[in-house]
Amino acid sequence: MKVSEILSKEFIIAELTSTDKESAINELIDLFNNDPRVDDIEKVRQAVLDREKIMSTGVGKGFAIPHGKTDSVKEIIAAFGRKKDGIEYDALDGNPVNLIFLLVGRDTMISAHIKLLSRVSRMMNKDDFRLRLLNAETSDEIMNVFLEEEKSYLEI
């Protein structure tokens, strides 16, 4: 499964309005209000925030991958947000986060969930990829950055 198969421009925020970690996560989750793939948005929110309490998903280099698993989604869903000025996120390297990739999967889809987390992490670890995301102006441009980057990856 490719990131571009679960992420679409409707679930990309080119500039988050949030100024803190929890608000940013909630801003991304709120994109799924009234989404037919989500049975209970509050259970999605709880799964992601509960996971965040275990250990920060701010992995360093200015990006975070908040994620969770719940049976309140019918399939794996994803959203992406960017904050050019950065958000204090309690990241592992202590630096603010500019790029946030939200991933929520079903409890029963553990393998696909882990593979997607791994792929997003590999992509985000590339300096030039992060820079292209930061320089993209619109949700369409951000989506194109993901599509272009994934062309260099083998199918998982």
Is 155 part of any domain?
no
Q: Kindly report, residue by residue over 54-75, the tens digit of the pLDDT.
A: 999 999 999 999 999 999 999 9
Q: For the domain that residue 109 is a member of, what is the CATH number?
A: 3.40.930.10
Task: Give Cα separations from 127 to 22, 62, 97, 122, 123 (angstroms).
Answer: 26, 10, 14, 11, 9
Is 134 part of any domain?
yes
Measured N-to-C along each axis, helices 139-150 and 110-124 cross at an angle, to the nearest 10 degrees, of 100
Is 139 part of any domain?
yes
- CA 86-145-151 angle, 5° bins: 135
Is 156 part of any domain?
no
Q: Kindly report, residue by residue over 81-92, the tens digit of the pLDDT.
A: 999 999 999 999
Residues belonging to the active site: 67
Is 101 part of any domain?
yes
Q: Which three-class secondary structure string do you get for 44-100? A: HHHHHHHHHHHCCCEEECCEECCEEECCCECCCEEEEEEEEEEECCCCCCCCCEEEE
Domains contained in the chain, number: 1
Is 80 part of any domain?
yes
Which pLDDT band, with edges at 50, 70 and 90, does 156 fall under? very low
Is 136 part of any domain?
yes
